[in-house]
């Protein structure tokens, strides 16, 4: 491996937040008249566009200063507002004239940096406050997704992607490992998803970061990865919400409620109804993800999306959510059946009492 120098490139640091159930983009655009706003159109040079129901709003905030690993860096800050309730923040740092080993160290420092999270959270909260009228059911979910993409346009003595793989320690960069020597297995796993559109470009996608070799600085692949990242956050959001519902249901099982209260009003019925709504909502979300995968206009971008889909373990999250949804629905249905059975018993008792009240005077 050689310590090559990056002549032109940048690192894109992503932080993705869920801010509500939905964001009405037309309303958000009106609230952001003073900002540099544009609609993102994801497409390749062949003009084939990724089909998204509503293209996200891109907001540029200009330059800011940040300290990472004891060093000060100038970052260009931007954000994207997605209609399904997500705001993604991007911090871009120029890597031009930086040695590869220093970039590996920077990668690890970004991984450990609290300042990156703080700046991203600050920008997100500021943006959220400006568009709050456009946010349906605002939330303050503390969990967020993070990802790092290294975009290399030109490197010293590198004329092709194959030369970059041969000369540069790409696995160490992708895995943010500047101290330990990686095993052959780890290196193989880091380079598992190598994709190319032409002989001059390359994308290597891992679960925590990606390396893009784009001589012309195209952002299409980076945008697709960010698009996938927002879907991953939504999967985590649904999973966490369903887990909370199950925990609440398990706790309610141990509560003793007055019999008459249970007779006239059952919260289990409300839980069953809410579970049905959540199931429909989640099914619609999955349809959107799958349709996004099917309708990516360019085959190469479709491959990028599928690679990210696999690295982000979409199927595992989907199976986990489906299983919990089914458990939630089954338990709620079982409890509601018990309540209905209790109500039927009470109705039988009432009918017997009414009959007795009619017969006793006649006998007397």
Residue with tokens 């006998």: 363
Q: Is the pLDDT of residue 54 over 50?
A: yes
Q: Note the pLDDT of residue 1.
A: 66
Q: Does 220 share its domain with 238?
A: no
**Residues 222 and 246 placed together within one structural domain of the fold:** no
Token reading at 258: 């007055």
Question: What is the pLDDT, as a whole number, of residue 265?
Answer: 55
According to the model, what pLDDT value does residue 118 have? 95
* pLDDT the model gives residue 107: 94
pLDDT attached to residue 343 = 74
- Tell whether the model's pLDDT for residue 199 goes beyond 60: yes
d(Cα 281, Cα 311) in Å, to the nearest integer? 25
**Residue 206 pLDDT:** 93
Single out the residue in 227, 261, 292 at which a domain terminates.
227
Residues 212 and 296 in one domain: no
Instruction: Please say whether the beta carbons of 49 and 42 come within 8 A.
Output: yes
Q: Does residue 96 share a domain with residue 223?
A: yes
* pLDDT at residue number 276: 65
pLDDT 10s digits, 236-249: 888 888 888 778 77
For residue range 77-97, list pLDDT tens digits in order.
999 999 889 999 999 999 999
| Confidence grade of residue 254 (pLDDT, cut at 50, 70, 90) | low
CB 92 within 8 A of CB 78: yes
Least confident segment among 167-181, 214-228, 333-347:
333-347
Tokens of 72: 């000060």
pTM given for the model: 0.83
Instruction: Tell me, yes or no, whether 202 and 308 share the same domain.
Output: no
Same domain, 43 and 149: yes
Asked if residue 245 lies in contact with residue 328, where contact means CB atoms within 8 angstroms, the answer is yes
Q: Final residue of a domain: which of 179, 204, 227?
A: 227
Of these ranges, 21-25, 27-31, 145-149, 251-255, the one predicted with the greatest mean pLDDT is 145-149
pLDDT in tens, 286-316: 676 666 555 455 678 888 888 898 899 888 8
Residue 194 tokens read as 């190598």
> Residue 75: is its pLDDT beyond 80?
yes
146 in the same domain as 58: yes
Residues contacting residue 362 through CB under 8 Å, at least 6 positions apart: none
Does residue 20 sit in the same domain as residue 159? Answer: yes
User: Residue 47 above 50 pLDDT?
Assistant: no
155 close to 6: Cβ distance less than 8 angstroms: yes
**Cα 186 from Cα 168, distance rounded (Å):** 16
CB neighbourhood size of 29 (10 A): 18
The rounded mean pLDDT for the chain is: 83
CA atoms within 13 A on the CB side of 287: 7
Task: Please count the structural domains in the chain.
Answer: 2
Beta pairing partners, 17: 87, 144
Band of the pLDDT at 271, cuts 50, 70, 90? Answer: low
> Cα–Cα distance between 119 and 183 in angstroms, integer?
35
Q: Residue for token digits 């959220």?
A: 128
Task: Label residue 4 exposed, middle or buried (CB < 10 Å: 0-12, 13-18, 19+).
Answer: buried
* Nearest of 195, 196, 215 to residue 205 by alpha carbon: 195
Residue 335, domain extent: 233-363
pLDDT higher at 45 or 24: 24
Q: Are strands 20-23 and 36-39 parallel, antiparallel or unpaired?
A: unpaired
Q: Which two tokens stand for residue 311?
A: 């690295």
With a CB cutoff of 8 Å and minimum separation 6, the contacts of 170 are 164, 190, 191, 204, 211
Q: Give the CA-trace dihedral at 282, 288, 289, 294, to 10 degrees.
A: 150
26 lies in the same domain as 114: yes
244 and 272 together in one domain: yes
pLDDT at 17 over 50: yes
Contact 269, 336 (CB under 8 A): yes
The answer on 293 and 220 residing in a single domain is no
Which of 227, 245, 264 is where one domain is finished?
A: 227
Q: Are residues 216 and 256 in the same domain?
A: no
Q: How far apart are CA 305 and CA 359, in angstroms?
A: 76
Q: Is the pLDDT of residue 218 over 70?
A: yes
**Per-residue model confidence as pLDDT tens digits over 95-140:** 999 999 999 999 999 998 999 999 999 999 999 999 999 999 898 8
């Amino acid at each position: 491996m050689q310590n090559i120098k990056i002549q032109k490139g940048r690192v894109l640091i992503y932080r993705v937040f869920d801010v509500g159930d939905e964001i009405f983009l037309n309303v958000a655009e009106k609230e952001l008249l003073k900002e540099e706003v544009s609609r993102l159109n994801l497409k390749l040079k062949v003009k084939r566009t990724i089909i998204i129901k509503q293209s996200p709003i891109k907001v540029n905030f200009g330059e800011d200063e940040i300290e990472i690993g004891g060093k000060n860096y100038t970052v260009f800050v931007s954000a994207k507002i997605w209609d399904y309730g997500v705001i993604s923040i991007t911090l871009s740092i120029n890597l031009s004239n930086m040695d590869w080993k220093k970039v590996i160290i920077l990668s690890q420092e970004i991984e450990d940096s609290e300042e990156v999270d703080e700046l991203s959270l600050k920008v997100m909260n500021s943006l959220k406050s400006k568009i709050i009228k456009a946010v349906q059911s605002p939330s303050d979910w503390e969990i967020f997704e993070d990802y790092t993409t290294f975009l290399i346009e030109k490197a010293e003595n590198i004329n092709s992607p194959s030369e970059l793989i041969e000369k540069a320690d790409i696995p160490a960069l992708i895995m943010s490992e500047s101290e330990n020597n990686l095993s052959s297995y780890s290196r193989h796993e880091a380079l598992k998803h190598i994709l190319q559109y032409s002989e001059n470009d390359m994308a290597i996608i891992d679960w925590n970061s990606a390396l893009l070799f784009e001589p012309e600085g195209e952002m299409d692949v980076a945008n697709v990865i960010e698009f996938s990242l927002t879907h991953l956050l939504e999967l985590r959001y649904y999973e966490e919400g369903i887990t909370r519902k199950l925990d609440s249901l398990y706790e309610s099982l141990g509560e003793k409620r007055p019999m008459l209260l249970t007779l006239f009003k059952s919260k289990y019925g409300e839980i069953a109804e809410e579970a049905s709504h959540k199931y429909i909502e989640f099914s619609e979300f999955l349809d959107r993800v799958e349709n996004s995968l099917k309708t990516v206009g360019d085959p190469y971008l479709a491959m990028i999306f599928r690679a990210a889909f696999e690295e982000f373990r979409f199927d595992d999250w989907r199976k986990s959510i489906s299983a919990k949804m089914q458990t939630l629905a089954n338990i709620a249905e079982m409890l509601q059946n018990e309540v209905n059975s209790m109500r039927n018993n009470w109705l039988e008792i009432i009918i017997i009492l009414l009959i007795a009240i009619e017969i006793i005077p006649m006998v007397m």
